[in-house]
Amino acid sequence: MRPTLSWTPTGQPAPRTTELGEVVRKVGAGDVVVLSGAGLSTESGIPDYRGNEGSLRRHTPMTYQEFVADEEGRRRYWARSHLGWRSIARARPNTGHRAVAALRKHGYLSGIITQNVDGLHQAAGATDVIELHGNLDRVVCLACRRTSSREILDARLRAANPSFAAEATRLNPDGDVDLPDDVVHGFRLVPCADCEAGALKPDVVFFGENVPRPRVDECRRLVDNASALLVLGSSLTVMSGLRFVRQAARAGTPVLIVNHDRTRGDAHALLRVDLPLGRALTEIAKRLGCRLSTP
């Protein structure tokens, strides 16, 4: 199963605007659920998948099927991710993340669902974030299913590959970087430290893998009870996020999108605000009297 790289627009696009008045009114009413995507983290230096500079224009992410079936595929992933994770770990929340955290703290948001795996919502101070696709800071064993810290794995991989040296270039939103095959070839994998046999995988949902059902059900409950759904920086190309937009639209719940480009969910949206996310969210928070935390 290959990643969904594109979609064909159908139906009428959502009305495009650069005005924030309607978004401020809807958020100000409270009980709004945020659904965030990779576009929210681009101002933190993490690229998105499908924008003008999106990584899918030059990079095909690892699929779950390839990862579990092929040791060489796992070697390629971990060599590249070993370097890329360091850049993800150094990333800091931007003003958009801090604005979302402030809106949550002041009671305007009833929940935050993120498709991102970088943990930047929580780093900005947001609470009760549902990580739809998991988090790169955790690792899971495919045999015993125990989870562990990515920092611990990083230290183990460094010890197993003392002479591994490569420069991280072209960071991808799934946490890896582009590396030539000859650099990847000699990279040594390490097994699970608990069962000492199982293959390790980042605790994230790969392309071709299903989001755990309890997590989906929790998101559905949030959307069911929301006064509005606010989509931030997601193209909504994949069904994992689009289904919540469709759910809201079926229930008559307003969907508002802040995104530079047209999205797959536009046909279900009340409007799409075409503004940089950090600027737009900071202004929304300001108009509602929310003070952003300091960087």
CA 58 to chain centre: 19
Q: Which of 97, 133, 260, 268 is catalytic?
A: 133
141 assigned binding-site residue: yes
116 assigned binding-site residue: yes
CA geometry: angle at 113 spanning 171 and 202, to 5°? 45
96 assigned binding-site residue: no
Neighbours of 285 (CB within 10 A): 24
135 assigned binding-site residue: no
235 assigned binding-site residue: yes
71-103 as b/e: b if 16+ CB within 10 A: eeebbbbbbbbbbbbebbeebebbbbbbbbbbb
**For residues 6 and 264, what is the distance between their CA atoms, to the nearest angstrom?**
10
219 assigned binding-site residue: no
117 assigned binding-site residue: yes
Is residue 192 a contact partner of residue 198, using CB atoms and an 8 Å limit?
Answer: yes
Active site residue 133: yes
195 assigned binding-site residue: yes
**For residues 115 and 41, what is the distance between their CA atoms, to the nearest angstrom?**
11
Catalytic site positions: 133
Q: Please state the residue numbers annotated as binding site for Zn(2+).
A: 141, 144, 192, 195
Q: Please state the residue numbers annotated as binding site.
A: 37-57, 115-118, 141, 144, 192, 195, 233-235, 277
Q: Please state the residue numbers annotated as binding site for NAD(+).
A: 37-57, 115-118, 233-235, 277
